[in-house]
Chain A
Amino acid sequence: MATIIEMRGITKRFPGVVANDGIDLCIEQGEIHGLLGENGAGKTTLMNVLYGLYEPDAGEILVHSQPVRFSSPHDAIARGIGMVHQHFMLIPVFTVAENLVLGAELTRGPFLDMANAEARVRDLSAQYGLKVDPLAHVEDLPVGIQQRVEILKALYRNAEILILDEPTAVLTPQEVGELYTILHALRDQGHTIIFITHKLREVLTICDRVTVLRDGKVVGTRNAHEVTEAALARMMVGRDVLLRVEKPPVAPGPPVLQVQGLRARNNRGLLAVDGVSFEVHAGEIVGIAGVEGNGQTELAEVLTGLRRAEGGRILINGQDLTNRRPGELFRAGVAHIPEDRHQRGLVLDFSLLENLLLGFQDTPPYARGLELDYDVARRTAKRLLADFDVRAPSSETKARALSGGNQQKVILAREFERQPKLLVAVQPTRGLDVGATEFVRQQLVRQRGEGKAVLLISSELTEIMDLSDRIIVMYEGRIQGEVAAAEASEQMLGLLMAGARGGTA
């Protein structure tokens, strides 16, 4: 096979970090090439360079052995490179056709020719077997279909090479299978695919060859069928990784959280939580699995006072706390590690000290009459930052200056300081490097060991399976099934996540 893309000595720096450090990469025509690395390894940056979104500080790119210089995606697209981003680059209020032709519009004189555009969508749909309605508004489409639109966008521009950035993050295991079929079909039609992921198993399943990145450098390239998961993990992290978390058996206590027939709407007014009932006992971790967008976010928000419940009840230690404000829930012993640490979990422009006060501002001893006792707060902050090994010059440092992992540690420190009875953790390891991820998971298990009730909501199935005692699967706002972790398999969970009927084990 011929080399279709070659990247030589690519270096890209951002303030404070070298994202890509002298990277050499060879992609062969007609292969599915995996780009593997943990969060922050530099995979997306490298591909953004290839796609013309960034200009490298050093190095060169060759396409079909010709040196090229991309100053914008326009150039990359012209050279046959297309990219499907992790967060879709689709305009929700536009139709599929409008999204497809943006930037490469079909015109008739000075006017847009949307009729032609719609016809093109239908043609491409048929050619590649990616069924999509050109007149549908993207915001009305389910996520799996939106991804197809993204792929069609690239194909419309005659992409020879397709870069896919973490494409399976938003898919059920069944949809992932469908994606693989599509990718194989594309490969058979002569396209080359670069597949960015941090999931080891995916790489071994779908890719022909895989290149591992770590800390901005290439560790090595292997043939997928010649390498083991453990070997890849080692390359990704540089040491032997604990792939499973130590979880001592704990006898669960009385129910701390009881959810009964909960109903709630999402921001668009649609029913997102549709009659959900479950329990979490002291000393257990209950994991809620499911593809993102099936109501987990809204469920977490209702449980933590950030969204109104339309119906149903929430009981904490037997007390009805439905539709209470976050402050009341804190007082009742509920702690929340939010999904979005930058928007919800922290006030980025506050100091660490002020962030650690968040949620405690009306609680003695920090609240003293009308005032806040900053001296007491400072002492507590010092202790917490040390206990959780947060790397920061002082408690006066602004939260914005910290790394993702350290920011999450601050949030954990604060929430654990509440001595909660119930801990609601939503996507707690998202975007964190392996070290921080390990730390967070260990902490969750420790809380469980101390008799707390932990509700873990995560879209990473492996995380759910590793940490939970019981697993609940959510699909379209309802509970599809409940399984003891020991008896769960990825296949079984995948079926439930996709809406197949399953029973409780």
Chain B
Amino acid sequence: MTLKNILMTIVAACCLWTSGCATVLTVAYPPVEETRKGDVRPGAQIGHHYVISEEKDGLLLQKEPLCAQEVQVINVKRKQLHGVIPAVIEIPFFGLGIADLVIAGTYTRATIEETDGGYVKGNQVLACGDLAFAPNEELILQFPVSLEVRRVTTDERGMIPMNVVQSFPGGESRFNVFVKLKEGPTFVRTFEKAPPRQW
């Protein structure tokens, strides 16, 4: 047997050993299918987010469209590493168990297949438009101490005149603002009367 043959035999043996349990088992097992989340995009409009602010001549109501979040689903097929324990046992005997694990590891990385699984509804909402004036919206002003409720409608600029919100029932210093919608009132915020100026 020539030296060349001996070397080739050694290399072949090495290849054989390194293609040990871990590699064979990893290749033999079918890939595992899993999903992961991809891009997030706004879906169908579900309502509005209302913002109310105090202006010089009254309260200004604005709204911005809200959309349901849609999340991309990505299907992933991946080989999982198997035969780790036999490969570890190989290490003290042949020293090639490590190479076996490395090769098995390359299979797990090389066999990732990703396909677009479409979009599904997420569990959050996203703003999906610009903030704009909210004209002709019915507001409910609730005074928490007296439980008095006032109803006002915003004008074409989304404004409520100051005189409507300046007269507080006795003992009140705050009111809660709700927008009346088809599906029921929605809370916007609480306003507090400015304390009297100290001189």
Is the A/B pair a real complex?
Answer: no
Chain B interfacial positions (CB closer than 8 Å to A): none
Chain A interfacial positions (CB closer than 8 Å to B): none
